[in-house]
Chain A
Amino acid sequence: MEKSSRSLLTYVLVYLTFLYAPVFLLPIFAFNDSAIISLPLSGFTFDWFLMLWQTKALHEAFYNSMMIALISASLSTTLGIFAARATSRFEFPGKRGIVGFLMLPLVLPEIIVGVALLVVMIQLGLSLSAWTVVIGHVLVCTPFAIAILSSAFNSFDISLEEASLDLGVNKIGTFFRVILPMVAPGIISSFLIAFTISLDEFIIAFFLTGTDATLPVYIWGQLRFPARLPSIMALGFLMVLLSLLLLLVAEYFRRRSTQFSANSSASNESIL
């Protein structure tokens, strides 16, 4: 057993190297003093970060992406709260089918979502804007929000809710004063995950963006110009740091949201 687990560990380490290979290259080329992205390395520079600071189109794309991610994350988390509350506390006919339908975007190729919304916009004669991207991103983020929030809503003790009702607090008061504080870590975690997904989403944004390019759409445009690549590496490096920060905060709150449950492994599973 000992021996087989050790050879398995070797495989795990090789696999992790494969997973991390691109991530490790990012800072190397972000600080490399050469306009061509290739080995061998020449010298150390901050120029590419300075170049980012001076590119106005990038700042606009960054602003668009931030706004889109903020609104998409808020909306999908709100929809997720409704769905998670409904499925965790109430039984109703067709529940499985409805939840399956809500989770559909998880297994639908993104290009289909993009195409479908594009067709609607063209047929209704509406122009594409940041809002059409928001509509698409809410669709894609909601299943993740539902998965995270369901585990949060499932893992707190219902007797607390009943106690509040027995003590004469009405349903709305109970929701805001008992349920919401209990699931707050799950809400924060859901918001941050949805935010990160929206920030990084490319295919739907590419189809629906109109003139307000998002950050990934801007990057896609720049990938064609070899001269712009080193600064894109620098941008990627900054985005990795931002995503990591958001992810760690989300993970911290997700753990807090599951510590109410008696069996923490059960709630770890239901997130998936």
Chain B
Amino acid sequence: MANSSEISYLQQPAKRTFWSIPKAYQDSARGYFLISPPLLYSLVMLAAPLVLVVLLSLWTQNYLELDRTITLKNYVEAVTEPLYGLLISRSLMISGMVTLATVILAYPIAYYVAMFGGKRKSMWLLLITIPFWTSYLIRIFLWKVILGYNGVINGSLMGLGLIEEPLTFILYNANAVVLTLAHAWAPFAILPIYVSLSRIDKSLLEAARDLSDNAFQRFFRVTLPLSMPGVVAACLIVFIPTVGDYVTPKLLGGTDGLMIANMIQIQFGKANNAPLGSALAVVAMFIVAAISISFVLLTRRFLKTKG
């Protein structure tokens, strides 16, 4: 986020020789002073609660009492109980599919706006983000209306005489969850890819053309590698939150579409076992972080070898 005025500001020691050394300290002090309110808020309201979640996951729930002896019992249960393993791996699978679908579908849109948007780039971006500002819950419910037994798709297909019976494979399963989430997260994939595409120096593409690369070669050898930072960002922005999604699987997933977040919610609610719920949350968070970090490292290496 460094900008030109900031740089010129730092490059003026000649005028302020007397101040230059203490100014650096003064700047740091003022910087820390200014950043402290948001930092303190995040430390108290986010970091401390997360530490408490880890602590709680090491305790056990005995009906109404909370046993505060430290034990790994919840983690053993979280890892050995097949249902939790199933829910976590399903969550990762569904999120992975959502990420893949969202990013692949979004890339051409970002490409079009960045390369052919001309003066109307902001209008295109606004057009893409407007549906995203309609109520999340209602949007997901409307997908149920579209995909349902008597829904819009089945209604129109039967009205056209293309099918006799309503299609049942489109609702209450993982497909419905993937489709709906690919819709819900579309702008989060389009925007980062658009940003990295619009940063590409057009003269590189001209150089490739002059060196007689055809359109495909230009895309795969210049455009795609240079837009990888945006693609990686889009993947993470879509993947991480969807693992913890709760609403879509509950409304559209049926029984074989439930995900780990639904189980965490059950542990905190009906099952009244907050420690186990915390352990599941910690395990899920750990796995997601591990996957995200290795994804970044892998793609970084890929980018480096490509030059």
Contact = CB atoms under 8 A, between A and B. Distances in A.
- Of the candidates B32, B133, B281, B288, the one having the most CB atoms from chain A within 10 angstroms of its own CB is B133
A247 B116 CA distance: 25
B244 A105 contact: no
Contacts of A266: 3
Contacts of A150: 1
A268 B119 CA distance: 13
Given A8-B108, A270-B1, A240 B145 contact: no
A22 B46 contact: no
B112 A5 contact: yes
Interface residues on A, range: 35 or more
A52 interface: no
Interface in B234-278: 236-237, 240-241, 243-247, 251, 261, 264-265, 268, 274, 277-278
B195 interface: yes
A138 B150 CA distance: 40
A268 B6 contact: no
A200 interface: yes
Interface residues on B, range: 35 or more
Contacts, number: 266
B127 interface: yes
Contacts of A158: 5-6, 8-9
Nearest to B10: A91
A82 B281 CA distance: 32
Given A109-B245, A247-B129, 7 more contacts: A23-B131, A37-B145, A39-B152, A86-B31, A87-B1, A91-B27, A119-B49
20 contacts: A5-B116, A8-B111, A39-B156, A82-B35, A82-B36, A86-B31, A86-B32, A104-B46, A107-B241, A109-B284, A112-B50, A120-B48, A139-B46, A151-B1, A155-B3, A157-B5, A158-B5, A202-B136, A219-B135, A255-B122
